[in-house]
Structure 1
Amino acid sequence: MTAKYERLLEYLAETTDWVTAGELADRLGVTTRSVRSYVTSVKTAAKPLEVIASSTSGYRLNREAYASFLAGLRVRDAEPGSPRDRVHAIIRGLGDAPDGLDVYDLAATMYVSESTVEADLRKAKLLVEDAGLGLTRRGSVVALTGSELNRRRLLSRLFRDESAQGFLDLQNIQREFLSGDLTAFKSALIEMLDGNGYFVNEYSIDNVLLHIAIAVDRVAKKQSIGPGDEDARPASATVRDVAAQLDGLVRAHFDAGLSPRELDYLSVLLTTRVLTPGHDQPAEAVADSYLEPDDLAAMRRIVRLASEEYLVDLDDEDFIVRLSLHIRNLVARAQEKSFSRNPMTRSIKSTFPMIYELAVFIASQIQRREGIVINDDEIAYIALHVGSHLERQNLREERVTCAIVCPNYYDMHVILRQRLEAELGSELQVDVVITRADVDWAALSSDIVVTTISVPAARDNVVVIQPFLTKGDIEAVRRAITTVRRHRRRMLLKDELLQYFDERLFRRNLHAGDESAMIRTLGDSMVALGIIDESYVEGAIERERMSSTAFTDTIAVPHAMAMSASRTAIAIVVNETPMTWGENRVNVIALIAFSSSGRRAFQTVFDQLVEVFSDRDDVQRIVRRATDFASFIDELVHVMDT
């Protein structure tokens, strides 16, 4: 499928509601006629499966049929006749043939014409050159040129491209490259690493297992790393230790012997992508053993700056040491332009925009210090460090207060309270237990009321449960807690956010050529009002280049990392037709300018603005009805109040 077909199906997969052709056209940046054409093509390709249902209300995905369709696509792509598989097969064949392959032989082997092979070679050339390799031609013979390491990196990329998004499938890796049990090897490897006192990054280990599988396969085909391939620096004691133990595991599980060069190369991948030393050791001991004093001092300075800019408490030695170890490996990867993939990047970015923004700030400081480039996947790993630290501090949300109404009968109310606190104690604080049946419901001020008796008048915050708590009751209370928290956030946002909008900074159906042009256009309106200067605009563009501020599929929130505005304000554009922003197409663009005095509002406004505009139906309502500034505010308040 083309990218447009995939995006259509992905967008339909995001909702269980009907989606109109117009909405799909806006999201894909095409006409409604094209949408109908795409739907027809998908239906034809999926027959006899009914993947997309059509009606006067629009289109809706049949999820069971869609899952079967995707499974069929993966099987089809693995068949020798598919176009992508032909290109990948040619590249793999060239990698296994030092003297090259004959075009006519390739055509005969694949049962296609010579012109088809020539077209496939042109596609292969783009992939090959992007990996730092080349194709040479002598008559009808084509050969692959370049280092063995680049060949392996290309194989790794091809395999990942053939895999579904997210975590790699170990069984697929095993079928492609190995005869041994890769799952058993992984278990033994983790046990060995854990026994040596390492934290293991489960998000990255499967990618390194792919490299190990490729290495075993290539060495079996007499394609080993050459003297010019590996790092010229001597291996560290850590790498040598890991290499020695890795050698034993590879021999035991795959009956293969790798050279010291191969083992050092794979051990460097493990130590820079997967391993963090110091498990069960105090932070001070870890720092003394594994970190340079200058690096640790630099990280303390960066963390202090982040804490001051975003008013969060990151001053924790264990956090700083663990993050420093991660950054040490990140810098090593960046210097080799060999980043770790993170299958959670998109969800981290859209679900925790403020934490991701903190990670962007930290990454920007590291970039300047080290002279490197840090991509979105690596920023998301920093966000995981920051988020887990903040979660441990329990800064995100306070517990919800609860009143229990349970008429006295022996100790039923005591048992009920104990069960609730055992199940939901980290989220719920019981502040009153009423054991009478004549309840003054209006006098109850707790966030939620959990009652075993019916309530005369319906109340949104009341959960009626059984006298003996069931699993269904627990889930009902948990849903009520979620609703209260969401309402709290919305009300806080409403109080904070509305004061930052200005009719002079509201635009509808304003379009620009690209992200930078839009930022400049919105920035000029703020400059004219004396809110920011040109340096803030340039800072917002610089921030955008680091990582797209399209945190969801509907809104982009460009901003500078310096809080230098004269006052906090938001310039906002609401467009009926979305514009391309990074990898997304967004209807709403909100340029935020924060003043130094507005630091305390930053987290609330930033996080919750993204949350409000993350609901597809809410955004569509605002886009349709916000025809001017007054109606925009009305619709925004309505969305926040619901």
Structure 2
Amino acid sequence: MNNIEILLDYLRKQAGEHYVSSRTLAEALNVSDRTVRNYVKAINEKHPNLIESSRSGYRIGEEENRQVHKDTNSTSHAKSRRFYILRRLIKRSERGLDLFDLADTLYVSDATIRSDMAQLNQLVNKHGLQITQHHHRYLLKGNEKSRRKLMIDLIDYSKPTSTSLEEEIQMFLGDISLQALMKLSKESFEKYHVHPNTYFFKNFILHLAIAVDRASDNEQLEKSSYHVENRTAVSFQAVEEIAERLYENHQIRLSQADKDELSILFVGQSNLDKTLVNNYTSNDVSRALDHAIQEISDVYMVDFDNDSFRNRLLIHIQNLYNRLLQNKYTRNLSVLNIRIKYPIIFDIAVYLASVLSNDLDVEINDDEIAFLALHIGSYLNSRPEEDQKIKTIIITPAYLSQQSDIQQVIERNFEDDLEVAGVYEDVSEINELLSPEFVITTQDVNQVENAFATIHAEIVSIHEFITKHDITLIRRKIEEIKHHKYVRFIKKKIPELIKEEFLIHFHETLSKKQIMETIADVFQRHNYVPADYLEKLNQREKISATSYPSGVAIPHTMKYEADKTGLIILIPEAPVDWDSNEVKLIIGMAVNKQDTHTFNQIFPRIIELVAESYHVNYLAGAKNREVFIDRLIELMGAGGYFLE
């Protein structure tokens, strides 16, 4: 993006909130205040009144912004918007999405949302799902299994510049149509009465595309990773059929080793037969994986003790090991997206790779680590999330079945968000120690507010017979509560993490090595880390660099084994060369294992923010610790952000 696009993007993320000062924008864009004024003038000449100005700064005019979005939405923005909508539909499958709320949130017209829904319906229909409309509310209809499978397709739609998983697979295939390859594979499976589920089929197509890519470059696997005595099994016959048709249609010849690797996927992805898995995998690889799983379970305090997860991952790692022995590497075109969107998962994968590399004496690159991250992410997504429901009480008269009716409607619509701690007829019945976070009432708001003034509960007034408008009010209040909780959390935690001595401006030219030494030295002088911290920083950096193209580096160790948790901020006067990235901001991290949960609520949001260069510029422009903390908290809480 050019600077004008960056300025608009920055203001849109602050839309509906306070004005952004000229100085803030200048620092974010690394230009002068006068240049900012010129940018604003140029934008308003093209789109009159799009940017409002005052003595306090600038902000987007909401009505004008909607119209400009309507007129200028590019295909990439439309795609990004649609998959944002789809993710929200999946998450809110029971309560759905309100047309007008969506239009307001995305700054587009109602007609644009309707058009998006029509496009998305074509996509979800392929997964046996349907988007239905009831009045002004959209719902995603279909079983939970189909919705989970659909979510697999959305992994790379998180940013406007990202490509879909299907597009990435197509990049492996070159001139061969992905749709044609999928059709060919399905027909071959049907011929041999193989009925794969979608999860297996997607993985099979990905590995088939990788094999095609290798064959196109004459980089086929030369030797099967295991001895095959009999290739009469259905899996071998189906793969042989696919290989023959590939050669017939596209003159792509798969090696026997590639065909064997594809055939073994049937073992790895269907109901796993332990004997078959053990026959395919070596004892060394199996022991190394068990060691690695135990390590990541201990370090990240996540239970990875799951046979299905282990066996699927074991097949993948055996294939990876076989490829590495033959110096065959697989490209993963989503490495940067995965690092940015799923930093914790990527870090777990980095540590898993480091243990495997050490035990098996191989080197695992970033591309392969990203594939490991997808395996880990798929497993973690299937686990129930920690309960973070909002403690809620309902106050309404006990007339006929009114109390139970209201409670049932609220629990049906908000079971994932609210924990109803009690239903009361009057505020006088409520125990002072109950301390609810949220009060839903049909009574006079002023009376209820006075009763809860000392505990700062959020209150919403609804009708005796709940309307759609009431549901919308409750939903908005839930998001406000979550946002306010997150802002309170970061306002408390960020200053604790960044001590007075932990923000350092340096004017001399330092190398990456010297910066790493500085981070280790400062942490050690304040008794935050053990003596071998620098060595472990370098180990993590060697496996996968911690710098990003946006101009930030976030060096940290693989294990959460610091004595205390903290952040060191280093701001160089001139950019530092950090593995081909020009870095303007360095955030050194030390994490104590007991603070894992707290840290995981902060780290992904920071990564998400500093993936944008203008956020890096804004933070790097801070003159002291107080300003840096204020700016970081401002960015982390912007746009009504809350933890999902």
* Other-structure match for 1:264: 256
Q: Deviations over 1:131-169 (max 9, x none)?
A: xxxxxxxxxxxxxxxxxxxxxxxxxxxxxxxx9733344
Aligned in 2, Cα 1:385/1:452: closer, same or farther, shift over 3 Å? farther
Q: Which residue of 2 aligns with 1:101?
A: none
Q: 1:435 to 1:242 in 2, by over 3 A?
A: same
Give, in angstroms, the shift of residue 333 of structure 1.
Answer: 4.2
CA deviation after TM superposition for structure 1 residue 358, in Å: 1.8
**Post-superposition offset of 1:256:** 3.7
Q: Distance in 2 between matches of 1:8 and 1:267?
A: 51
Q: 1:538 aligns with which of 535, 539, 544?
A: 535
Alignment of 1:317-466 (within 5 A): 317-335=307-325, 336-341=327-332, 343=334, 345-394=335-384, 396-436=386-426, 445-453=435-443, 455-456=445-446, 457=449, 461-466=458-463
In structure 2, what is the equivalent of residue 74 of structure 1?
none
Q: TM-score, normalised by structure 2?
A: 0.63
Q: CA deviation at 1:362?
A: 0.8
Change (3 A) 1:178 1:365: closer
In structure 1, what is the equivalent of residue 516 of structure 2?
Answer: 519
Give CA deviations for 1:458-478 in whole Å, capped at 9, x if unaligned: 977334445455566556545
Corresponding residue for residue 593 of structure 1: 590
Q: Deviations over 1:470-493 (max 9, x none)?
A: 566556545544554555555555
Decide whether the 8 Å contact of 1:512 with 1:518 is kept in 2: no
Q: Hey, what does 2:82 align to over in structure 1?
A: none
User: What is the match of residue 627 of structure 1?
Assistant: 623
Q: Given that residues 288 and 360 in structure 2 are in contact (C-alpha distance below 8 angstroms), is that contact kept between their aligned partners in structure 1?
A: no
Residue 205 (structure 2) aligns with: 205
Partner AA of 2:410 in structure 1: L
1:231: Cα distance to partner?
0.8
Which residue identity does 1:244 align to in structure 2? Q
Q: Return closer, same or farther for 1:474/1:252 CA change in 2, 3 Å cut-off.
A: farther
Q: Work out which of the residue numbers 235, 241, 248 in structure 1 matches 2:241.
A: 248
2:305 is the alignment partner of 1:315: yes
Change (3 A) 1:509 1:24: farther
Aligned to 2:330, the other structure's residue is in SS state coil
Cα offset, 1:339, TM superposition: 1.8
State yes or no: 1:16 paired with 2:7.
Answer: no
Aligned to 1:166: 164
Letter in 1 for 2:305: D
Separation in structure 2 between the aligned mates of residue 441 and residue 583 of structure 1, nearest angstrom: 61
Q: Specify the alignment match of 2:100 in structure 1.
A: none
Alignment correspondent of 2:501: 504
Residue 327 of structure 1: how far off its partner (Å): 1.9
Q: What do you get for the CA RMSD once the two structures are aligned?
A: 5.5
Aligned length: 527
Give per-residue Cα distances to partners, 1:332-351, cap 9 Å, x unaligned: 344444325254x4454334
Secondary structure of residue in 1 paired with 2:254: helix
Q: Distance in 2 between matches of 1:478 and 1:542?
A: 46
1:572 matches 2:562: no
The structure-2 alpha-carbon separation of the partners of 1:434 and 1:37, relative to structure 1 and needing over 3 Å to count, comes to closer
SS, match of residue 262 in structure 1:
coil
Return closer, same or farther for 1:34/1:572 CA change in 2, 3 Å cut-off: same
Residues 100-121 of structure 1 show CA distances to partners (whole Å, capped at 9, x for unaligned) of xxxxxxxxxxxxxxxxxxxxxx
* Distance in 2 between residues matched to 1:593 and 1:495, nearest whole Å: 18
CA distance in 2, matches of 1:193, 1:401: 52
2:211·2:258 contact (CA, 8 Å) conserved in 1? Answer: yes
Sort the Cα spacing of 1:177 and 1:424 in 2 relative to 1 into closer, same or farther, 3 A: same
Q: Which has the higher contact order (CA 8 A, sep 6+)?
A: 2
CA distance in 1, matches of 2:308, 2:324: 24
What SS is found at the alignment partner of 1:280?
coil
Corresponding residue of 2:184 = 185
- Check the 8 A contact 1:174/1:181 in 2, yes or no: no
Secondary structure of the structure 2 residue equivalent to 1:320? helix
Residues 314-336 of structure 1 deviation map (CA, whole Å, 9 limit, x = unaligned) = 33333333322232233334444
Residue 549 in structure 1 maps to residue 541 in structure 2: no
C-alpha spacing 1:626/1:479, structure 2 compared with 1 (3 Å): same
1:589 positional shift: 2.4
Asked if structure 2 preserves the Cα contact closer than 8 Å seen for 1:247 and 1:263, the reply is: no
On the 8 A contact 2:189/2:238 being kept in 1, the answer is no
Change in CA separation of 1:560 and 1:244 when aligned onto 2, cut-off 3 Å? same
Question: Any conservation in 2 of the 1:613–1:619 contact (CA below 8 Å)?
Answer: no
Correspondence 1:195 to 2:195: yes
CA distance in 1, matches of 2:624, 2:402: 57
Is the CA contact 1:570–1:591 (under 8 Å) kept in the aligned structure 2?
yes
Is contact 2:26–2:33 with CA below 8 Å preserved after alignment? yes
280 and 252 in structure 1: CA distance in 2 versus 1, 3 angstrom threshold: same
Give deviations 1:235-283, integer Å, cap 9, x for gaps: 7659885453144357779964978x536365367468x766252347x
The alignment-based identity, stated in percent, is 22
Q: CA separation in 1, counterparts of 2:207 and 2:537?
A: 34
Change (3 A) 1:511 1:625: same
- Give the direction of change, closer, same or farther, for the CA distance of 1:446–1:207 in structure 2 (3 Å limit): same
Change (3 A) 1:621 1:542: closer
Residues 1:496 and 1:245: Cα distance change in structure 2 (over 3 Å): same
Contact 1:494 1:640 in 2 (8 A): no
Q: Deviations over 1:278-330 (max 9, x none)?
A: 52347x55644543343222222212222222333333333333322232233
Amino acid in structure 1 at the alignment position of 2:587: A
Assess if the C-alpha contact under 8 Å between 2:396 and 2:424 holds in 1.
Answer: yes
Q: Which moved more, 1:390-399 or 1:614-623?
A: 614-623
* Residue range with higher mean Cα deviation, 183-192 or 321-330: 183-192
- What SS is found at the alignment partner of 1:429? strand
Q: Give the TM-score, by structure 1 length.
A: 0.63
Structure 1 residue 365: deviation in Å? 1.0
Provide structure 2 residue ranges, at least 5 long, that are not aligned to the other structure.
15-19, 78-160, 639-644
**1:200–1:276: 8 Å Cα contact kept in structure 2?**
no
1:501 and 1:570 in contact (8 A); partners too: yes
1:541-598 Cα shifts (integer Å, max 9, x gaps) = 331232243589586431123556555443222569876766877664221234xxx3
The C-alpha deviation readout for 1:367-404, integer Å capped at 9, x for no partner, is: 22233333334333333433444454435443332222
Paired with 1:582 and 1:471, the residues of 2 have a C-alpha distance of 54
Contact 2:222 2:255 in 1 (8 A): no
CA contact under 8 A between 1:367 and 1:374: conserved in structure 2?
A: yes
Query: Which has the higher Rg, Structure 1 or Structure 2?
Result: 1
TM-aligned CA distance change 1:630 to 1:471, over 3 Å: same
Q: Structure 2 CA distance, aligned partners of 1:574 and 1:382?
A: 33
Given the superposition, is the C-alpha separation of residues 281 and 534 from structure 1 closer, same or farther in structure 2, using an over 3 Å criterion? closer
Q: Distance in 2 between matches of 1:528 and 1:359?
A: 31
